[in-house]
Structure 1
């Protein structure tokens, strides 16, 4: 239920996209995976069967070769003179050396030569007789080693201990016939007197290793497959990889162990030789072609999936984009921008909704415009009423100061005080327009501050600095007075120090900034919040215009960019920043914005 709720809460485009994906892409992926697995299974089974047939062919070929070796070793049994020579006691002969020489020549030139002619694969033949220290031999490119005796070699003892049958000796080094040991394959058997069953000697027929390599020369063409033969002692007697010849089987398998699962191994045994035949192929190489097909299929599948995603994206977008555009326009309207128009290029439900939206925004815009006009009239009326309601307490206090000065100072400053009072009253009552020049506003503030200095016994000094290039620009009437009044009434409440009030007016780009700063008591966050909400001042001020009233008037007349910023630190003072646009002042109060003028 939770998953369905999450799906339900997604936007329309995501719902359409997910639905299209499930209906088209998921079945495509499942079918592709199924056919790939099936194709891999069929291909692997056929490859393995092919290697099994090749392996069996190797076994058959090797068996024929070994059978030929065995048959070659049987021929001396049928030579009666050979048996007589091996049975001869040379110590009883008158001419022992001569007899040995003639016998050696017969065996070498007749028996061995005939045998090597019968089987050209034979490399050398030796007979180790029991009745003599002489060794009968014949071979190709040989150098006899007189100091070597094989009687202690394991393969020699195996031949002697199995007199009833020929023994196939796997790859070993032939040290008797060559100055430098040479690897050979051999068939050995004990020569026995058929009449007395007496052992007459040991026959050893050697075959060079390259004979076996020539026999399987075609296997080297299969670079991806390693095929090798292991004898009954666990020694590799042949391999399609020459570097493996002479290695032990355990060493070969040790190389495969780290990645054993990545190999195919086909194994067969020979009943004739006792050898084991292996075909090992790396799975990656075996499946290289099918992997290419897989990669191509995967790429094609990915392209289809991407095409599916693009199609789903475009289809869902064609449905949801008009709705999203309409939604963005509604958000703009929500933020107060009614100068928006929705496209009406379709006749479906979205097009009908767009037309209804456009009619709604036009009506709302007209209503807001009408409301602003009425609000402006209301503000103007309130301002006129506030201007005409000079607080009687202010007049009373000011007149009291004039009276006190007249009595205490013998009327020396009465003229200046009365003059300032006249200027203030004249500025307040002479017109009902909302805009005045900055020069007029500053002159009014100057007179007003001189009156406040008299009232508070010069407890503060003030400084007014106005840039000449802003004097002819216009501003709202009574814009600065509430902040000055607030600084004097509330910021300069203690008599323990001399206070200073600074007013600066200067250009800031295409705007004008008023900076009113004092070193008074400062305002807390809570007091500042209440002050900005204040529409009307208290009863002790010159008029009833509050700080909040000024802030809202600025935004109403000039826009949200402009207004009042107050920064205050408790015990250190307050700085008020007022930002208005730079607009020329005309006598008819119709202002135009200066573009880059100084």
Structure 2
């Protein structure tokens, strides 16, 4: 079994398809066609019989609709009081009669063309003052009229009566006009003649491969699709048809006015056999095509599969050699096409991951480089920083001992700022830490300038633990104090607001200083966006660059200023972590550990 399986695997794909074709297609087709033709013969004849039954039902329903049109019109006439007034009035002269005739009878006769089932409307009356013309006839209870008159049986219901003459069969609805008991001076009857052509159309329009007969309750043939047979045979005899050769379908009406009437369809089933033999030749032709065309198609498909798979295999070898170009021949949506799409998706993902890792490494190295530069700058500017911090703390304590509280407070603020400068390795701090640093700076400036500077800091309580980059806001407060308020002679004011927004946090620092000229402001914004040297504005440029590094394009920054009025800086920071935050917080943790060890 294993050897047979291995031999099959060693065959070319084309030969595999041919073997599969012979086993799964050719032999099953020969067997299935034989079974199919036998079953199809039975189903075909049964379906034809069912179709004949449906056609008989449909023809019966259409004939009944013709009768219902006439019945409906007779009911409208039966309930129209104008007819009763017209027929039960003795007209003194012909002029008055003609006027009433045009107003009543002529209106109904004009509606006849609207009914395809109705050929004519007639009225029979015993009123001697009428002119018997234009559809008005004298009612005679003897002679020719006696036949249909006697069939009315003194009933108010409509009665369907057939009449035969040389022209053929005429179906008509007769109904006495006796609904209103106040009008009994004369006997009046309405007669609605059905259109024989409409009846013939109902039978002839039926798509049946046989003959259809309309029979009355006596089994008399009134109408049929075989006119010659109707002339030779006036009575339908069902037993004359062999049920092995003919299929007879019959629908018997149950309505009161069609009681016992029926529609019968007779079909010679030899017609079905002839159709089957014609279909058999077509099936044989199709079977031959099923043998030849699939073989050619399998050869073509196997060649297509082989070529496409070889191309994909060559492309994967290129990927193995680190050539991440996409496979260019992806047009189909089959499994091979999906495989090619997945290979391209894998290639794009590899490229994307490669670029992301490469970019992340570049950003990491750039950040480390800037931190090293900051460390070097801090080391160059520090002269034994712990000694200076301890000296400041000694001076503050001596000031407190001498009750110089104001001097002690300023020294405490300076120590706090100096302490923060020592913690240059911390990248993230809370808003509370940043505000404490801003407060210390403004206290020192207020001590320096006295009444010249006043400040106000407003922070929503929910934001005290909100984490932000270290020194994200202080450079802008420092810039407002040094470049905005310091040139003023008096009444300088700085306001800091930190509020919660839908985006996250909003920082606004506003001063009433000298402001910035429009051209200068444009230059500053351009230098910040393009990372150009800004001279004495290096503090806010570094802060802006760090925000850009941490948040990319997910933060908002805006400077508004007017000469002589003041300057407003607005910063919106998102609530979610920045891209580099996990890495930066890891550095913070290491730095905090080092500071504890140094202390």
What TM-score bracket applies, with the shorter chain setting the length? 0.3 to 0.5
Higher helix share: 2
The TM-score with structure 2 as length reference comes to 0.36
- What TM-score do the two structures reach when normalised by structure 1? 0.36
Larger Rg, first or second structure (1 or 2): 1
